[in-house]
Structure 1
Amino acid sequence: MSQSTVTTDRVASPRRIAALALPALVVLAAEPLYILVDTAVVGHLGRVPLAAVAVGGTVMTLTAWLGTVVAYGTTGRAARRFGAGDRAAAVAEGVQSSWLALGVGLLVVVGMQFGGGALAGALAGGGEVGQAAAEWLRIAAFGAPGLLLAAAGNGWLRGVQDTRRPLFFVVGPNLLSAVLCPVLVYPVGMGLIGSAVANVIAQTLSGVLFAAALVAERVALRPRPRVIRQQLVLSRDLLIRGVAFQASFLSATAVAARFGAATVGAHQIAVQLWFFAALVLDALAIAAQALVGAALGAGDAAVARALARRIAWFGAVCGAAFAGLALAGAGVVPTWFTPEQAVHEQALVAWPWFVAMLPLAGVVFALDGVLIGAGDIRYLRNLTVAGALGGFLPAIWLAYAFDLGLGGIWAGLMLFVVIRLVALLLRLRSGAWAVTGAVQSEPSTQARA
C-alpha cells in the first residue's frame, strides 16, 4: 500500500469524519429541535397561532439562510487557510465575518419593524393569521443579530476543525429557551408573543458566547472593510443560492396558506420536520466542508476526492435511516404538535413525499458540503437556481392553479431534490471541483479547471 493511500485512508476515515460530524450534528439539531418544541407549544393555543408561527417562522427562516451563507462561506475560507498551516489567518476570517453578521442582523431588525407586517400579511393572505404573524415577527426579529453572530462563529470554528465548543454555545441557550417558551406562553400568560421572546433570548445569548470566543483568541478585532468586501464578493453565489431556496419555500407557504389554516398548519409541521432532517443530515456536509477545504488547502486533491465519495455514501445511509424513523412515526408525530384532526389529515398527505425524499436528500446535502468546502459555489448557485425555476416553483404554482393541495406542493419539492441529485453526481464524477490552494480560486478559474 502506497504512502498516498495510507494518508487518504487516515484523513478520510469514518472515525475522522464522525469526529467532526457528530458534534456538528448536535449543534445543527439544537435550533430545529427548539423550533419543534416551540411549534408544539404554540400549536396547543389553537389553529390560528399555529398558522401564525408557520408564516412568521418562514419569514425568519430567511435570516437563518443568511446565517447559513455566512457560516458556509467562512468555513470554506477558514478551512483552506487552516489546511495551509495558518491558523491565525483562519481565525481572522471569523473576525471579519462576525462584523458582517452583526451588520446584517441589525438591518434585519430594522427591516422587520417597518416591513414585517406587510410581508406576513402578504404570505398569509391577510386576516387574523396575518395580524398574529406580524406581531410575532416584529419581536422575533430582535434575535437576528445573535443568530447571525452564532452562524459566523460556527463557520470559523468548523474551519479550524473545532466542532466541540459550539456544542456549549448553541445547545445551552436553546435548552434554556425550551424551558422558557412554555413558561412564557402559558403561566406568564404572554401567549404567542412568549414564543417570540424565548427565541430572542436563545439567539442573543448564543451570539454573545461566539463573540466571546473570538475575543479569547487574542487576535485583532477591528473591522477590515477590504476583507469584508472580499467575503461579500466570494459569498455572492451562496447569497443567490439562498434567495432561490427562500423564494421556493416562501412560495410553498403562501400557496399552502391559500388552501386554508389546516393545510398551512400541516405544512408547517411537515416543513419544520424537513428542515430538522435537512440540518441533521447536514452534519456530514459540515464535516465535508472542513475536511475537503483543509485537504485542498494543503494541496491534496486525492484526499479531497476520497472524502467526497465516502461522505456521499454515508449521506445515503443516514438518509435511509431517517426515512425509516419517519415512516414509523407517520400516524403519531403530527399529533405531538396539535390536537386538530384536520391538520393531522393534511399532514398525512405530505408524509409519503417526506419519507421518500430523505435517502436522496442525504446524498444531496453531503455533496453540497463537498462543493462548498471546495469553493465550487458557482456550480451550486447555477444548479439551485435552475432546480428552483425549472422544477420547484412551477410545481408549487401549478398545485395552486389546479387545486392539487399539499400533495402537489410536496411533489414539487421531490422534483427539486431529484434535479439536484443528478447534477451533483455528474459534478462529482467530473472532478472539476477539486482545485487546490490555500485561497479559494475565483469562479472563472474553477470553470476552466
Structure 2
Amino acid sequence: MVLMTQAPARPRTARRRHDREIITLAVPAFGALVAEPLFVMADSAIVGHLGTAQLAGLGIASALLTTAVSIFVFLAYATTAAVARRVGAGDLASAIRQGMDGIWLALLLGAAVIAVVLPTAPLLVELFGASDTAAPYATTYLRISSLGIPAMLVVLAATGVLRGLQNTRTPLYVAIGGFVANGALNVGLVYGAGLGIAGSAWGTVIAQCAMAAVYLVVVVRGAHQHGASLRPDAAGIKASAQAGVPLLVRTLSLRAILMITTAVAARLGDADIAAHQIILSLWSLLAFALDALAIAGQAIIGRYLGAGDAQGARNVCRRMVEWGVAAGLVLGLLVVLSRPVFLPLFTADSTVRDTALPALVIVALSQPICGVVFILDGVLMGASDGPYLAWAMVFTLAVFTPVALLVPTFGGGLTALWAAMTLMMTMRLLTLWWRARSGRWVVTGATR
C-alpha cells in the first residue's frame, strides 16, 4: 500500500530506523493505555463483594466519570503534537513551556468539572437511570471521585508532554505504579477502614493525585534543566485551548457514534445488546493496540515536521501505514482464531453466542481498515491538523447516523449494525486517506 507514489524509495536502513522508533514508542504506550481500564476493573472486583447495589452504583458513577475525562483527551493529543514540533526544532525549553500551558489548562478544566459535578451529582445519577437502591452509592462515589478529576486531567496533559518528548516509558511506569497503589488503597480503605464504596472512591482519588504528582516532578525537573518557566501564561493557555477545540469536536462525534450504536443494539433485543456489549469490549481492546501505534505516529511526525524534514515525515507516514495494515491483519486473524474460546468467556447463553458470532467475523475482517484509520488519525494529530479531523469526523457521524438508525427497520440485527460500524470506519479511511495524499498536512516549523 503506497501513500505518496512520487516519493523516492527509502533505503532499508531508514525503514529499520523508523521501525525501531515506532516499536520503542508504541509498546510502552500500549501498556499505559491498558492500565486505565484496569483501574475500573480492580475497583469493580473490590466493590462487587460489598453487594449488588454498590456495584451498580459504581458502574453508573464510573461511566459518568469516564465520559467526563475522555471528553478532555485532547489534552494529551494536542500537547503531544505541540511539544513534539518544538523538540524537532531543537527548542526544548519552548517544548516544556508548551507542555506547562497544557497542564495549567488541565487544572482549570478540572476545577470547572468539580464545580459542576459536586452540586449536580444526584441529578446526573438520576438522569443515568439509577435505581433507588443504587443511586445513593453512585452519588457518593461520583462526588468523591470528582475531586480527583483535576489530577486525572493533569495526567492526560503531562502524558502528552512526555510523549512529545519521545518518552512513553515514564507514563508506563507511572501507570503501573498507579494501578498497584489504587488496588492496595481500595482494599485497605474499603475493607480495612470499613469505608465501603466511599473508600474505593478515596483510594482512586489518592492514586490519581499521586500519579499527577509524579508527572509534575518529572516535568518541573525538565523545566529547571532547560530554563523553562513554570508560571501560568494566559496567552499560552488560550492557545492550548484553541488547539484542543477541534479535537474535542472529533472526540464528541466519535462518542456520539458509539452511543448511537449501543442505543440501536438495545432496540434490537436483550440477546443483541448482550452480544453487542461483548463485541464492543473486544473492539475497544483492539483499539488500544492500534491507538498505541497512533500515539507513536503523533510523536514522530510532530518531531519531523518541527525539524523541517517534510520528506522524512512523508516517509514515516508511509511506513506507519504499512504497520497499520500489518497490525490489522494480525489482530483480525487473532480474533478469528480465538472466537471459539472468546465468546464462552463472556456468556453461556447459546443465543447470545450465535448472535455475536457473525458480528465478530465482521470485526475481524475490518481490522486492516481500522489499522490504517488509527495510523492516519495519529499522523494528522501529530501534524496538528485538528480542524480537518474535526470536520471529517462530523461528516462521518452525519453519514453513519441514518444508516445505523435504519437497521431495526430493514433488519439484519447485530450483524447489520456492525456492518454499519465498518462503513463508518471506511468513511474515516477515505477522508483520512484523501487528506494524507493531498500533502496539505505537511506544514513544517516549530508551530503550525
Shorter-chain TM band: 0.7 to 0.9
Are the counterparts in 2 of residues 55 and 253 from structure 1 also a CA contact under 8 Å? no
Matches within 5 A, 1:72-91: 72-91=77-96
**More displaced, 326-335 or 146-155?**
326-335
Distance 1:429 1:115, change over 3 A: same
1:390 has 2:395 as partner: no
**1:27-72 Cα distance to aligned partner (Å, 9 max, x none):** 1222134445556667788987777666544433333323420111
Which position in structure 1 is the counterpart of 2:418? 410
Compare CA radii of gyration and give the structure with the larger one.
Answer: 2
1:306 has 2:315 as partner: yes
Instruction: Quote how far apart the aligned CAs of 1:134 are.
Output: 5.2
2:153 alignment partner, one of 137, 144, 148: 148
**More displaced, 331-340 or 98-107?**
331-340
Are the counterparts in 2 of residues 32 and 276 from structure 1 also a CA contact under 8 Å? no
1:363 has 2:372 as partner: yes
1:61 has 2:66 as partner: yes
Distance 1:21 1:385, change over 3 A: same
**1:372-412 Cα distance to aligned partner (Å, 9 max, x none):** 11111111111111111211x33443346678765454343
Instruction: Output the CA distance in 2 between the equivalents of 1:281 and 1:120.
Output: 33
**More displaced, 293-302 or 333-342?**
333-342
**1:326-358 Cα distance to aligned partner (Å, 9 max, x none):** 333334445556778887676557533433332
Amino acid at match of 1:356: L
Which position in structure 1 is the counterpart of 2:5? none
Which position in structure 1 is the counterpart of 2:306? 297
2:440 alignment partner, one of 392, 408, 432: 432
Which position in structure 2 is the counterpart of 1:279? 288
1:222 alignment partner, one of 218, 231, 238: 231
TM-score by length of 2: 0.83
Matches within 5 A, 1:209-358: 209-217=214-222, 218=224, 219-256=228-265, 267-333=276-342, 336=345, 348=357, 350-358=359-367
Instruction: Quote how far apart the aligned CAs of 1:137 are.
Output: 3.7
**More displaced, 416-425 or 347-356?**
347-356
Are the counterparts in 1 of residues 72 and 248 from structure 2 also a CA contact under 8 Å? no
CA RMSD of superposed structures (Å) = 3.7
**1:263-312 Cα distance to aligned partner (Å, 9 max, x none):** 65654444343233212211111111111111111111101001111111
Matches within 5 A, 1:45-56: 55-56=60-61
TM-score by length of 1: 0.83
Q: Which secondary structure state, in structure 2, belongs to the residue aligned with residue 279 of structure 1?
A: helix
% identity of equivalent residues: 38
Are the counterparts in 2 of residues 237 and 377 from structure 1 also a CA contact under 8 Å? yes
Instruction: Output the CA distance in 2 between the equivalents of 1:133 and 1:405.
Output: 33
Instruction: Quote how far apart the aligned CAs of 1:171 are.
Output: 1.8
Q: Which secondary structure state, in structure 2, belongs to the residue aligned with residue 221 of structure 1?
A: coil
Amino acid at match of 2:392: L
Are the counterparts in 2 of residues 58 and 253 from structure 1 also a CA contact under 8 Å? no
Q: Which secondary structure state, in structure 1, belongs to the residue aligned with residue 148 of structure 2?
A: helix
**1:110-156 Cα distance to aligned partner (Å, 9 max, x none):** 32333444444444487767776555544443332222111111111
Number of residues of Structure 1 aligned to a counterpart in Structure 2? 438
**More displaced, 122-131 or 55-64?**
122-131
**More displaced, 291-300 or 48-57?**
48-57
1:372 alignment partner, one of 371, 381, 384: 381
Instruction: Quote how far apart the aligned CAs of 1:82 are.
Output: 0.8
Instruction: Output the CA distance in 1 between the equivalents of 2:419 and 2:178.
Output: 36
Amino acid at match of 2:435: R
1:13 has 2:30 as partner: no
1:105 has 2:110 as partner: yes
Instruction: Output the CA distance in 2 between the equivalents of 1:189 and 1:412.
Output: 48
Instruction: Output the CA distance in 2 between the equivalents of 1:114 and 1:261.
Output: 35
Q: Which secondary structure state, in structure 2, belongs to the residue aligned with residue 235 of structure 1?
A: helix
1:419 has 2:427 as partner: yes
1:96 alignment partner, one of 93, 101, 117: 101
Q: Which runs of 5+ in 1 are unaligned?
A: 441-449
Instruction: Output the CA distance in 1 between the equivalents of 2:188 and 2:356.
Output: 28
Q: Which runs of 5+ in 2 are unaligned?
A: 1-7
Instruction: Output the CA distance in 2 between the equivalents of 1:415 and 1:282.
Output: 20
Instruction: Output the CA distance in 2 between the equivalents of 1:128 and 1:330.
Output: 37
Instruction: Output the CA distance in 2 between the equivalents of 1:184 and 1:335.
Output: 34
Instruction: Output the CA distance in 2 between the equivalents of 1:193 and 1:400.
Output: 41
Amino acid at match of 1:434: V
Instruction: Quote how far apart the aligned CAs of 1:162 are.
Output: 1.5
**More displaced, 339-348 or 293-302?**
339-348
**More displaced, 267-276 or 411-420?**
267-276
1:23 has 2:32 as partner: no
Distance 1:144 1:355, change over 3 A: farther
Instruction: Output the CA distance in 2 between the equivalents of 1:100 and 1:31.
Output: 21
Amino acid at match of 2:397: A
**More displaced, 134-143 or 307-316?**
134-143
